[in-house]
C-alpha cells in the first residue's frame, strides 16, 4: 500500500521508451503506475489511486471503446496528457483538435517536455490543495476569509478567461481586463517566442510581439524597442527577427502612451520550466505591490504562461493539420473550406474574386527521369516561389500532385492575369539545384473570376479555372489563360484567345 504522501501518475499502454522517461522523472514522493493496454483496470481502480496525471498514447486511445473513452476523459481531478505517435495523418490531427485534450506531447517523449507537463500538473494539484487549505482557514480567521475569497474570485475569473480561448491575442486582452482588478493596468504588451515550446524546430531569435491597436506610430516603435530590450534583460534571449500581432486593447485610444510615461513593469512568463517571453504591465499612475498582491500576480502569470503555451501549441498543431508537409502551402481540404468562406464574403461585400489554377508542365517526365526525390525538390521550390510571388492577401495551396491553386480576393480578371503572368515567369526562371545539375520547370495557369453581377459557386469557379488551365496546356503550355464569361456562355475562341492573353 503506497503512502498517502506519494503523488501518483498513471500510464496506460505506454511504449517502453516513454515509460522509461517517466520512470526517470519519478523520484521521492512521485510514483508511476503503468498498465499495458491488455490489462487496463476498471475505472474504479484508477480512481482509488487518486492520480494527478494520466499519460495515454494516441494508439491506445484509438483502441478504447466509447464507454472506456468516456470513463478516462471523465477521471476527476486528473490532468490528462495525450502522446502523439511519430506518424499521424491530417485526419488524425483534426480528430485530436476536436477532442480538446489539454496537453499534447510527441513520441518519443522528451525528458524536458515531460518534466514541464509534470510541473504543470503538480501546480494544478497544488492549486486545488491551496483552495482546500484556504477553505479550512475560513473557520479560523474571518478577516483572512474575505481576503482569500477575493483572491480566489480573481484566480477563478483569470483561469476561466485564460482557458476559454485558444488565441494568444484574445488571452492577453482578457488578461489586461482581469489584471485591472488587482493593479491599475492601462495596457498589456507582450513578447514571446512561440516555437520555444511547441511542435517543430525552434529558432530562439524569432519572436512575436503583441501590441495594443491604440498606439500611434511613434509609440509603437518605442514599445517595440523596449520589448526587444526587455526580452534580453528579463529572459536572456536575444531576438534577431520579430513580427507584430495587434491586440484589441482598451476602448479608449492610448496613442501617446510610451514606455517613458507612467509606470511599466516587465515580468517574465514561462510555459513550464523554460521562458516563453515577458509581458509589460503599463499604468498611467504609480502603484505599489503588497506582498499578497505579489503572490497573486505571480500565480496569475504562471497560469497565463500555461494558457499561452497551450494556445501556441494548438496553433502549431492546427497549422500542421492544415498545411502540405512538402511545400508548406495549405492543403486541398483547407483550400476548399477557405474558397467557400471567401465566396460568402465576396457576395456580402461585393467585389471580384479570382481563382488561379497552376499545373507544372511535363512534371511526370522529371519524376520518371530524375526520380521522385528531385521531383519533391522541384515541388518544394515551386511552393517557395509561389509564396514569394503572391501578395500577403492571397491564399495559396497545393491542390494535388503538381497542381497548385491561389485565391485572389478583391481581384478582377485583368489584375489576376498580371499576377498569373508574374508567377509563370518566376517559375520559368527557377533553377533547382539537384545531383543531376540545375533542373528547370514551366507552368501553365488558368484563371476564372466571380463578379457581383455574375456570382459563381465554388464548383463552377473551379470548373472554369480548370477549363482555362487546359486551354493553356492545349495552346503549348507555359502560358496563362483566363475563362472570361459574358453571361451567355464562354466567349468564342477568337475573343477568348485575344482577351485572355496578358499581352493582348
Q: What is the DSSP string of 316-340?
A: HHHHHHHB-TTT-SB-HHHHHHHHH
- Tell me the domains of the chain and their CATH numbers: 7-122 (3.40.50.2300), 162-315 (3.30.450), 332-500 (3.30.70.270)
pLDDT tens digit string along 255-301? Answer: 677 777 767 888 888 876 677 888 888 887 776 666 777 778 888 88
Q: Phi and psi of 455, rounded to 5°?
A: -70, 145
Report how far apart, in Å, the C-alpha atoms of 402 and of each of 109, 331, 379 are: 36, 12, 7
Q: What is the spatial distance between Cα 83 and Cα 109, in angstroms, rounded to a whole number?
A: 8
Query: Does residue 362 register a pLDDT over 90?
Result: yes
Cα torsion 463, 465, 468, 469: sign: negative
* pLDDT bracket for residue 382 (50, 70, 90): very high
Q: What is the spatial distance between Cα 431 and Cα 428, in angstroms, rounded to a whole number?
A: 8
DSSP string for residues in 380-447: HHHHHHHHHHS-TT-EEEEEETTEEEEEEET--HHHHHHHHHHHHHHHHT--EEETTEEE---EEEEE
Please name which of 358, 361, 379 lies closest in space to residue 434, comparing C-alpha atoms. 379
CB count, 10 Å around CB of 385? Answer: 16
* pLDDT over 70 percentage in the chain: 82
105 Cβ contact partners less than 8 Å away, ≥ 6 residues apart: 81, 82, 83, 84, 113, 114, 117
DSSP string for residues in 144-197: HHHHHHHHHHHHHHHHHHHHS---HHHHHHHHHHHHTTTS---EEEEEE-GGGG
| Mean per-residue pLDDT, 23-50 | 88
More confident residue, 29 or 234: 29
Question: Radius of gyration of the chain from Cα atoms?
Answer: 28
476 Cβ contact partners less than 8 Å away, ≥ 6 residues apart: none
* pLDDT bracket for residue 379 (50, 70, 90): very high
**What is the structure's pLDDT at 502?**
36
Report how far apart, in Å, the C-alpha atoms of 89 and of each of 95, 198, 275, 303, 323 are: 10, 18, 31, 31, 11
**What is the structure's pLDDT at 489?**
42
Residues linked to residue 10 through DSSP beta bridges, in sequence order: 33, 54
295 Cβ contact partners less than 8 Å away, ≥ 6 residues apart: none
**What is the structure's pLDDT at 485?**
56
* Contact status, residue 283 vs residue 184, Cβ threshold 8 Å: yes
What 3-state class would DSSP assign to 499? helix
Query: Does residue 396 register a pLDDT over 60?
Result: yes
| Chain mean position to CA 438 | 36
Residue indicated by cell numbers 514571446: 192
* Contact status, residue 176 vs residue 163, Cβ threshold 8 Å: no
Amino acid at each position: 500500500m503506497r503512502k498517502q504522501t506519494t503523488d501518483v501518475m498513471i500510464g496506460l499502454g505506454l511504449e517502453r521508451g516513454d515509460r522509461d522517461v517517466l520512470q526517470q522523472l519519478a523520484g521521492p514522493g512521485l510514483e508511476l503506475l503503468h498498465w499495458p493496454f491488455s490489462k487496463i483496470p476498471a475505472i474504479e481502480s484508477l480512481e482509488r489511486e487518486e492520480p494527478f496525471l494520466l499519460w495515454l498514447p494516441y494508439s491506445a486511445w484509438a483502441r478504447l471503446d466509447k464507454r472506456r473513452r468516456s470513463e478516462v476523459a471523465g477521471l476527476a481531478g486528473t490532468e490528462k496528457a495525450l502522446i502523439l505517435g511519430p506518424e499521424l495523418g491530417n485526419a488524425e490531427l483534426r480528430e485530436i483538435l476536436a477532442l480538446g485534450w489539454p496537453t499534447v506531447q510527441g513520441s518519443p517523449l522528451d525528458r524536458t517536455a515531460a518534466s514541464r507537463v509534470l510541473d504543470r500538473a503538480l501546480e494544478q494539484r497544488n492549486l486545488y490543495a491551496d483552495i482546500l487549505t484556504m477553505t479550512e482557514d475560513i473557520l479560523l480567521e474571518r478577516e483572512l476569509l474575505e481576503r482569500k475569497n477575493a483572491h480566489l474570485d480573481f484566480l477563478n475569473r483569470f483561469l476561466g478567461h485564460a482557458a476559454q480561448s485558444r488565441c494568444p491575442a484574445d488571452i492577453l486582452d482578457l488578461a489586461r481586463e482581469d489584471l485591472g482588478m488587482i493593479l491599475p493596468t492601462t495596457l498589456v504588451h507582450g513578447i514571446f517566442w512561440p516555437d520555444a515550446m511547441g511542435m517543430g524546430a525552434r529558432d530562439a531569435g524569432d519572436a512575436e510581439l503583441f501590441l495594443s491597436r491604440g498606439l500611434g506610430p511613434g509609440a509603437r516603435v518605442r514599445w517595440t524597442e523596449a520589448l526587444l530590450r526587455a526580452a534580453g534583460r528579463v529572459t536572456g534571449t536575444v531576438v534577431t527577427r520579430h513580427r507584430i500581432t495587434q491586440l484589441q486593447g482598451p476602448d479608449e485610444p492610448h496613442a501617446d502612451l510610451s514606455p517613458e510615461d507612467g509606470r511599466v513593469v516587465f515580468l517574465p512568463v514561462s510555459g513550464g520550466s523554460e521562458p516563453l517571453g515577458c509581458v509589460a504591465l503599463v499604468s498611467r499612475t504609480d502603484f505599489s505591490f503588497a506582498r499578497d498582491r505579489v503572490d497573486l500576480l505571480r500565480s496569475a502569470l504562471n497560469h497565463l504562461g500555461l494558457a499561452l503555451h497551450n494556445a501556441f501549441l494548438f496553433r502549431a498543431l492546427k497549422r500542421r493539420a492544415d498545411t502540405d508537409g512538402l511545400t508548406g502551402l495549405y492543403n486541398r481540404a483547407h483550400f476548399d473550406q477557405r474558397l467557400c468562406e471567401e465566396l460568402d464574403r465576396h457576395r456580402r461585400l461585393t467585389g471580384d474574386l479570382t481563382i488561379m489554377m497552376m499545373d507544372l508542365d511535363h512534371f511526370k517526365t522529371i519524376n520518371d527521369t530524375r526520380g521522385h526525390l528531385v521531383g519533391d525538390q522541384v515541388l518544394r521550390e515551386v511552393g517557395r516561389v509561389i509564396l514569394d510571388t503572391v501578395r500577403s492577401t492571397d491564399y495559396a495551396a497545393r491542390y494535388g500532385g503538381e497542381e497548385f491553386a491561389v485565391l485572389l480576393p478583391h481581384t478582377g480578371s485583368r489584375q489576376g492575369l498580371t499576377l498569373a503572368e508574374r508567377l509563370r515567369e518566376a517559375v520559368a526562371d527557377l533553377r533547382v539545384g539537384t545531383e543531376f545539375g540545375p533542373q528547370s520547370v514551366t507552368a501553365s495557369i488558368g484563371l476564372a473570376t466571380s463578379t457581383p453581377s455574375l456570382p459563381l459557386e465554388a464548383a463552377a469557379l473551379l470548373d472554369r479555372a480548370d477549363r482555362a488551365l487546359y486551354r493553356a496546356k492545349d495552346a503549348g503550355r507555359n502560358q496563362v489563360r483566363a475563362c472570361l464569361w459574358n453571361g451567355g456562355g464562354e466567349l468564342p475562341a477568337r475573343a477568348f484567345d485575344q482577351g485572355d492573353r496578358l499581352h493582348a
